[in-house]
A and B are shown apart, each in its own frame.
Chain A
């Protein structure tokens, strides 16, 4: 069964500090990996999407890395802000057929940034 495991489950950091969230997956065949940010009471919003050939992708203070060989990804947040407090969800896309894909969701890491 395809799985996406995220760690840690929750994290508390001081404003201004950096942090790294981890995602390990067993999904195959791999199509792409996405990181979503979900604010409380809102739907998930895409931060990055990475294909097999991409190792690193940045979106402002967010930098995602992908190692397709070890099936691991990380999301690094630099100089955290209070507004970064949210759940971060790793999602892996599997190609299931011609033009069809299946997404497998991690359960997320809940990040709290405190002053």
Chain B
């Protein structure tokens, strides 16, 4: 198993541009989570899906952020328009069943907005 796969690993973009981050969860995992990590705030949950359905998006900072999961093997996190304060490392994680087991993180996407 290749684990949770995220792309790209690094993204540098100009303020105002659209950014799309991608995630492929572990096959068979029915929960998918998007996190943001900064030095100041640590890891913060943005949104999570169960069986491709968004369950809790209360962590999404503002309307500029959106996430989709069109099928069990793919999810995207989109920021439009991007701002410098969005610069962070974004992690995707997936897990089994209730979300309490087999929790695995991807390697993250480091986003820099200039």
Contacts and interface: CB of A to CB of B under 8 A. Distances in A.
Contacts of B103: 34, 46, 103
Interface of A: 31-32, 34, 41-46, 89, 93, 99-101, 103, 105-108
B interface: dominant SS: strand
Contact of A44 (B55, B97, B105, B110): B105
Contacts, number: 41
Contact of B43 (A42, A45, A89, A100): A89
Chain B, interface size category, equals 20 to 34
Nearest to A43: B105
Nearest to B97: A99
Contact of A106 (B42, B97, B99, B110): B42
Given A44-B105, A45-B105, A101 B99 contact: yes
B4 A105 contact: no
A34 B93 CA distance: 15
Contact of B107 (A43, A46, A101, A108): A43
Contact of A105 (B42, B97, B107, B110): B42
Interface string B72-114: 0000000000000000000101000111100111111010000
A64 B17 CA distance: 44
A101 B106 contact: no
B43 A105 contact: yes
Contacts of B53: none
Given A43-B107, A100-B55, A105-B42, 16 more contacts: A32-B100, A41-B107, A41-B108, A42-B108, A43-B108, A44-B43, A44-B105, A45-B105, A46-B104, A89-B43, A100-B98, A100-B99, A101-B98, A106-B42, A107-B42, A108-B42
